[in-house]
Amino acid sequence: MRARLRAAVLSVTAAVLALPFVAAPESRASATAPPRTGFERSGGARWTGEAEEQRFLAAVDRASDRVSVTRIGTTGQGRPLRLVTVGTGRTATRLLLVCSQHGDEPAGREACLTTVRDLALAEDAETIRFLSRTTVLVVPTANPDGRAANTRTNADGIDINRDHLALETAEGRALAAVQRDHRPDVVHDLHEYDATPPYYDKALLSLWPRNLNTHARVHDEARTLSEAYVRPAAERAGHSSGVYGIWTDPVTGEPLKQVAGDGQERILRNTAGLKHSVGLLVETRITPLTEEEKRDTAVNNRRRVTTHLTALDSAFAYVTERRGAVEAATTAARLAGPGDRGPVYLGGADNDPAEPADILRDPPCGYRLTPAQYTDVRDELALHGVRARPRGDGSAFVPLGQSRRALVALLLDARAAYHLAEGQPVIAC
């Protein structure tokens, strides 16, 4: 199917871009040329511009009744935040792609834009069946102001990928609303990184939620997505791969030290896990890999995008092959909270045991917020899908006995590293 896709959809750029498994027939290509991104039209010499993205998505929306484009927010500089929904109706499985949270990491955005088009225009039986059972949600540019300025942060200097708990940014709030309203089973977060040869220099790195509060079945599915699908697919395509945040010995492949990738609850892959989605961070290497890539920026850019497309291809395969296991895991996690009486972890990671002081071994049954506190955080609680019980005096009680149980403690316990309010623990309900 990839061969048909390259021939039918990408036309001139077929020789330089490998795309996901979805396909469009040759007859469509000959009858009506499909929309192409600025990146494709330039052969990878430049990234797609803001106006080009708008025209591209509008053209795809017009060309396919499987696609809808909605505005989910507005950035500090007035740019729209868009959600693209691709599917053929209400389906059980939902896959969310979050593209280029960091504005100076544009390859994921290019991969997302072409994936939207290819899913929208495909007419082969395999893709039609996939979309009949899967809704694909895409935020193609999660940081439009940062992309326009080519900066990691948004216009206010905030790293969006450290704002998935506090929700101080319009970008973070929009993504939280999408997660609350659509409850994706899988969240695929596309990034890029600068290599540190020879210890940290793979073409692709990936990482699952390390936060210890992630439900065990969701955690295991996320690791399966990384280690049994994304990384092997990259290797088969000729791209080296590794685990994000871990320096490895270039000879033995043994881990040397951890430089990133901890269990911080404010990072999207971890927040996704806390919200019972199979979260995965995927990073492609910005630094050139070959002498040809050093000489020609377009070659380097195409490799970065192609690597992301390979990862997306494997994510679609994962959803197709493990659909039942994924839905069972996310459903079990969502239902577990109200009856859970186990500990809540305020620190640690799946490869870094929590310190005793970071474990709420006998958590309270909830937290009481004063009227002022509740006024300050009620919107954020609602965006996170956390249920509160308002009182007549303006105060509120937030019970732990709800689906996003651990998130309640991480948001409201004074000992949590990124809490929004210092709620009063209520021991007996």
Stretch 271-297: mean pLDDT: 98
On whether both 263 and 362 belong to a single domain, the answer is no
End-to-end CA distance of the chain: 58
Query: For a pLDDT cut of 90, what percent of the chain falls above it?
Result: 90
On whether both 24 and 156 belong to a single domain, the answer is yes
The per-residue pLDDT for 166 is 98
On whether both 153 and 99 belong to a single domain, the answer is yes
Domain boundary among 332, 350, 370: 332
pLDDT at 16 over 70: no
Confidence of residue 117 (pLDDT cuts 50, 70, 90): very high
Confidence of residue 92 (pLDDT cuts 50, 70, 90): confident
On whether both 135 and 216 belong to a single domain, the answer is yes
On whether both 247 and 138 belong to a single domain, the answer is yes
Confidence of residue 13 (pLDDT cuts 50, 70, 90): very low
H-run or E-run covering 60: helix 50-63
On whether both 275 and 366 belong to a single domain, the answer is no
Query: For a pLDDT cut of 70, what percent of the chain falls above it?
Result: 93
Stretch 100-126: mean pLDDT: 97
pLDDT at 238 over 80: yes
pLDDT at 25 over 90: no
Judging by DSSP bridges, how do beta strands 80-86 and 134-139 pair with one another? antiparallel
On whether both 346 and 325 belong to a single domain, the answer is no
Stretch 64-68: mean pLDDT: 96
Q: Are 159 and 255 in contact (CB under 8 A)?
A: no
Nearest by Cα to 18 from 317, 303, 316, 320:
303
The per-residue pLDDT for 218 is 98
Kindly state the tokens that stand for 91: 């389906």
Q: Which domain holds residue 390?
A: 341-426
On whether both 199 and 301 belong to a single domain, the answer is yes
The per-residue pLDDT for 32 is 75
| Least confident range of 13-17, 90-94, 369-373 | 13-17
Residue the block writes with tokens 């792609």: 97
Stretch 28-38: mean pLDDT: 73
**Residue range 309-329, pLDDT digits in tens:** 999 999 999 999 999 999 999
Confidence of residue 297 (pLDDT cuts 50, 70, 90): very high
Judging by DSSP bridges, how do beta strands 255-258 and 246-248 pair with one another? antiparallel
Domain boundary among 309, 332, 355: 332
pLDDT at 288 over 70: yes
| Least confident range of 7-16, 211-220, 253-262, 378-387 | 7-16
The CATH number of the domain where 10 resides is what?
A: 3.40.630.10
Residue 324, number of CB atoms within 10 A of its CB: 10
Give the strands of the sheet with 389-390, arranged side by side.
389-390, 396-399, 366-369, 424-426
Beta-carbon-side half-sphere exposure of residue 6 (alpha carbons within 13 Å): 12
The per-residue pLDDT for 14 is 36
The per-residue pLDDT for 88 is 84
Domain boundary among 304, 332, 360: 332
Give the single-character DSSP code of 162.
Answer: G
**Residue range 142-190, pLDDT digits in tens:** 999 999 999 999 999 999 999 999 999 999 999 999 999 999 999 999 9
Stretch 352-363: mean pLDDT: 97
pLDDT at 15 over 90: no
On whether both 94 and 200 belong to a single domain, the answer is yes
On whether both 309 and 345 belong to a single domain, the answer is no
Give the single-character DSSP code of 226.
Answer: I
Confidence of residue 7 (pLDDT cuts 50, 70, 90): very low
Beta-carbon-side half-sphere exposure of residue 146 (alpha carbons within 13 Å): 26
What is the pTM (predicted TM-score) of this model?
0.93
Confidence of residue 89 (pLDDT cuts 50, 70, 90): confident
Facing residues of 99 across strands?
Answer: 190
Stretch 388-404: mean pLDDT: 98
On whether both 175 and 111 belong to a single domain, the answer is yes
Stretch 189-209: mean pLDDT: 97
Confidence of residue 118 (pLDDT cuts 50, 70, 90): very high
Stretch 188-207: mean pLDDT: 97
